[in-house]
Amino acid sequence: MLETGDAVFLFIQERLDGTLRFVATTFQSPRNLQFLGYHFSIDPSSRYMSAGSAEGGFIIYELESLSHMSTQYESCGSLKPIKSTRVRLTQGVIHKMEFLYPRPEDDYHIILLLIIVRREVSKQAHVSRMVVYDWELGDELTAVFRSEKGTPLPKEHRMPLMIIPLKVNTAFLAVSEHSIGIVKNAFTGQTSFDTLETHSPQQTRLHHGAAEPLWTTWARPFRINIYLEKMDVIYLAREDGVIAHIEIDSRDLVPTVMTLGTISTNITTAFTTAYDVFSDVLITGGDSGPGGIWKLIPRKDPQQVSVIPNWSPVVDLVTTDTNPSWRSDSKRKDLSTKRKVSSNSRPKSDRIFCTSGRGPRSSLTELRWGIQARIGLEFDHDQHVRQSWMFPVEAQGERGFYAILSLPHSTDVLHFPADLSNANALSPEACPFDTSSRTISAFQTEQTVIIQVSETSTYLVAPTQSSRHNHGEVCGKSSLLAEHACCTDDIVVISSHGANASQLDVLLVDQMNLTHSTSIDAKGEITCIGLFKASAQTYIIAGSVTEGLPLLTIYSLAGLEISSNVTQPDLVTPGQEGHFHMEAYTSVLAIHDTAEKVILVLGTRSGHLVTILIPGEDIAHYSLSIEQIGISPTNVFPASSLFDGKHAFFACCDNSLSIMTDFSPKGSRFKTKTRIWATDSNEPSMSSPPVHAAFCLEGSLSGYQRHMSLMLLSGTRVLLVDIWPHVGPVPRSILLGGTPMRVIFSQIWKVLVVAHLKDDRPTLSFIDPESGVNVATAANKDKQPSDYISGLGHPGDRIFGLYEWTYVKDGKLFPFIIVTTQHGRLMIVSVTALKPESDDGPTRKLQYWTRYKKKGFAEPIYTVVGDDVGLLFCVGKVLHWEVLDLAEKKLKPMKQFRLDSPATTLRVEGTKVCVLTAQHSLQVIDLNVESENSDPSIIHSDRVTRFTGHVIEMGDSEEAPGKWPVSVISTAQAGFAGVWIPWSQRHKEFEVVVTGSLPTSIRRFRKGHTRPFWSAVDRQRRYNTLFSTADQADILGVSIDGSLHQFSLVGLDLWRFLRLIQNLAYQDKKICPFVRNSQSLRDSDPGMDLDPELEPQRFREMMHIDGDLLKRCLDMSALEELVLIGDGIDLFCEYLDGIDDGIYTEGFRETGSQGRKKYIELGYEILEYVLTLAI
């Protein structure tokens, strides 16, 4: 049910490729009842549905049978599930609404139970009454819902938490705060509730509330019908993790209650059951923390099977960006605003962390985006593994796998059984492979023969036989040491270093024999080789270095040179040669799109990715693209099959693994690049290990379709993982053991400083971002270990303010952590590094203690900020400015200023302070530091009063003083406002630039260089886009519900184009199916004249673009249909002509019928560029 009262019916349909999709049908509400759907129930026969309003009134929907709906969809491709409706208003508020089960022999009987609360004059109080309506299938509903007074409920069940219909005797359970009762027959008119004794345990440590924990949800397990005729079974769950098992005998309705135990998560309404062969399975989404799956084993506590990540409440967000200001970092200031191209050349993106959840299961969560690689098997090898291969084998009727591990100077071979239960290292004597030298290539043919090419030999290994072929002997030389190799079913090519240059030798495989075919004197020094087929011919592609430049050469098997080219990326602007210079090729692979079309992909030592498209028989003429995806060497690895129906390959660069998909012939490149994160369900705090090589197995070890299994190498570690084509959040949770309140990233110590609770006492943890370990210990003033530092550890207190402050004295820098609390405490905390106690422990150890402490405040200190010499903090509604005196070891008060409401965020701008207040928007206060006798005063303020959440500055460049920045303020009403502060005009109000609405309120803004390297390295002000900050960082915002939002600035010409698409999308029912637009009104009344208002208007309320809506247009490829609405195509082309003075549409209007197609293609390019994710 939607908030409009419309009902949406969904069913799942399987596509031809095996993927699933939702098919939706919308039924408009027959009556405008507020909050319709607040109560919702479907009867056991699935022929009636009831939706109730919170303010009194409900609607009964009679549904078509499932068989009839199936026939409908097969015949006309659409559904009309509603047969008729009946609206019934009630005298009072509906508290609960449920359909009850009829007797098994009366399956045509429909029974609806309502609990209605209303104030009755006769009793001078609110009374809860139970009303029961019943009818038979097909009855006319007008006569059914007559006025019913109902039966009063007993005091203990006046406001039940749940009504649980039972499958026997039209009975139900009423679960109330202090009692559980059973009504054995709702038709008797009696409201005598037999009380169930649960004997449930005391509240667990997961409980949050002040009162006793409540029962929150229930589920009915799967049972065979014969059993259900005699017994009904219910699992009842409590909010703090307690599970109760209730059985009700059908003859006497005698309940049996047993506590099964406690699961280690909070439970809300997201709770259900599944079944296993020998046990029930409980699934819960969790509440304020992760959920999970538990197996119920007889006479044992529930056993957790897996964890389900849950986006729990978030109160703070932080990135590892080292520059907190919107301005450029001073080290980069001379470059960043002068280039059109981003100067972001960071090998690693900034990471994103947020506080998540509350209570013992709360955590610090790293927000990551990409594809999850679930680790199934992991082991540590003795030596560093350079490369690996894994092939299925069948020996003596038993299936298994051979894993070939290439070491620096030798090879190890492991044998795995089919279930991967263990691994056996094969001894050199029993091993059919070469273990004495390094393996440089391996391949399994269609005849299941494994070809292993080592430095000295080529081995052919079949299930029943094997053969060894020395390279020197095969090639007719005294010795030959192979450096690079590649294989297909019947060809092996090896490269070696000759007397003057590299040499290629082509070897032919004939069953178990290997013969020499051709020797080729190659150009330059070979760095990688590969094989590909085009037009039924096989060719060699070789990457080499000549005169310090990378050379790409294609040879025929006979040694004929087809083409040879030196490639370098085009420089966007001068002065970037050092960063963009491409070095030697490291690896190459071929992807055969069709019999004629071949895609070649090469990695380089400088982090570049080269993609070549050979479209047909002319091998010498091809198109290529060069992209940089990192700064360390890039190695490419093939995928064993299509991934989500698309060509794909893997790339390792900067110790991370990515998958490349969505090849575009137009740009000769793979458009989609996605990071792969290895995760361990048993260790959710584990950071994704660095990966330097990968091998894709032929089939998925998990047995699931569309999944892929990979063997990953991380130093000496070998991991077998499973991936599937789902791109989305891959959170990493670091458990804290207590509710987190604040988090900052320490620029000095490079750790995450987290303020959280420990046994209801505030404390600090210093979390290493990489390991997730707390690396600091608290100490007292004498530097002796302590549970809490002085000023923290008081029961009931909470940390409100956390800030890293660098105090400057005589040119020396003194770093401190400032902590403020709810009980009015302010502490200046010192941190020092200790020597690790042992080699096995953390690589570093910190110690922190209270250096100075400010006492005497009776009100909370909400926020704190510092400059070089002093601190500004807000106590209650009073802003304090105090300066640290090192000699007296205390803070000396300078000035105070009373605000209209407490300050939640402070920012120092020279001698002025930007103060975000809780209820009076943003204010700029002049401290008047030049005069001790002058009081601070407000010099700028907002035009309206806003209840605020957070504020951040956004600005494209520092080159236009006064134009930037814009301060973006989030509001408590799920909105935001962008205001411009007139710094040069004292006592002038802010100018409101833009206002907008969001799905949820933003709790915290943060900036960071969080884009992957490939997205950030060539970021430009293209298509009239703007940078969000002067150092090209992105702006992120997190909501209290854990959702992450991305904010960007665009120029006016681009805004006009994007706003047009948004206006067009509002008129399309496919894109906005649940918005009552002019199109839906026109469909209901064709005579109405409703020409849509498409042209964007420059009102501040219209200056916000809904990126989520534009993403839907892009995903659905909807531009072709959208421009047909009204005069959309004319405006569409006109606004594209206006972007950057028409440089992108030059000549489009002169190409006739092709011009419109080019405009549409440009529109998609702009959407793809603008909507690129910042994580």
Across-strand partners of 820? 801, 826
pLDDT averages per 10-residue partition of the chain, 1175 residues: 90 85 90 91 95 91 94 91 93 94 89 91 82 90 79 89 92 92 78 81 87 95 86 94 92 88 92 90 87 90 86 91 85 40 63 92 93 95 95 87 96 94 91 96 96 97 94 91 95 90 94 95 96 91 94 96 87 48 96 86 97 88 93 97 94 97 94 96 91 96 91 97 95 92 97 96 97 95 94 96 93 94 96 80 86 92 94 97 85 94 96 96 94 92 96 90 92 96 94 95 97 91 95 96 95 97 94 69 47 85 96 97 93 96 92 87 97 95
Distance CA 70, CA 23 (A): 13
| Helix or strand run (H / E) with residue 81 | none
Which pLDDT value is given to residue 34?
A: 86
H, E, C per residue of 528-549: EEEEEEECCEEEEEEEEEECCE
For tokens 């529109």, what's the residue? 1163
For tokens 């702006």, what's the residue? 1035
Q: Which two tokens stand for residue 197?
A: 């004794």
Quick one: which of 494, 362, 515 has its CA closest to 440? Answer: 494
| Helix or strand run (H / E) with residue 896 | strand 890-898
Pairing of strands 812-821, 708-714: unpaired
Who contacts 998 (Cβ-Cβ below 8 Å, separation ≥6)?
970, 974, 975, 976, 1039, 1045
Quick one: which of 1174, 1013, 351 has its CA closest to 745? Answer: 351
Domains and CATH numbers, the chain: 1-152 (no CATH), 321-340+899-1022 (2.40.128), 351-367+731-893 (2.130.10.10), 372-572+580-645+693-699 (2.130.10.10), 1050-1170 (no CATH)
Distance CA 1065, CA 539 (A): 49
Distance CA 433, CA 370 (A): 37
Which pLDDT value is given to residue 200?
A: 83
Q: Which two tokens stand for residue 6?
A: 């419309």
CB 721 within 8 A of CB 712: yes
- 216 alpha carbon, distance to own chain's centre: 28
Q: What is the CA radius of gyration of the chain?
A: 35
Distance CA 133, CA 145 (A): 7
Which pLDDT value is given to residue 839?
A: 63
Which pLDDT value is given to residue 1158?
A: 95
- Burial grade of 187 (CB within 10 A; 0-12, 13-18, 19 or more): exposed
pTM: 0.91
Which pLDDT value is given to residue 571?
A: 53
Which pLDDT value is given to residue 578?
A: 45
Which pLDDT value is given to residue 54?
A: 82
C-alpha distances in Å from residue 1090, one per residue of 1062, 1079, 1081, 1082 = 18, 8, 8, 7
Which pLDDT value is given to residue 576?
A: 44
Which pLDDT value is given to residue 199?
A: 83
User: What are the strands of the beta sheet with 937-941, ordered from one edge?
Assistant: 903-909, 912-917, 922-926, 937-941
Which pLDDT value is given to residue 19?
A: 80
Who contacts 719 (Cβ-Cβ below 8 Å, separation ≥6)?
375, 377, 378, 678, 689, 711, 712, 713
Give the chain's count of helices (H) and strands (E): 12, 78
Q: Which two tokens stand for residue 850?
A: 């209270």
Pairing of strands 162-165, 922-926: unpaired
| DSSP 8-state secondary structure symbol assigned to residue 141 | G
Residue 761: how many other CB atoms lie within 10 Å: 16
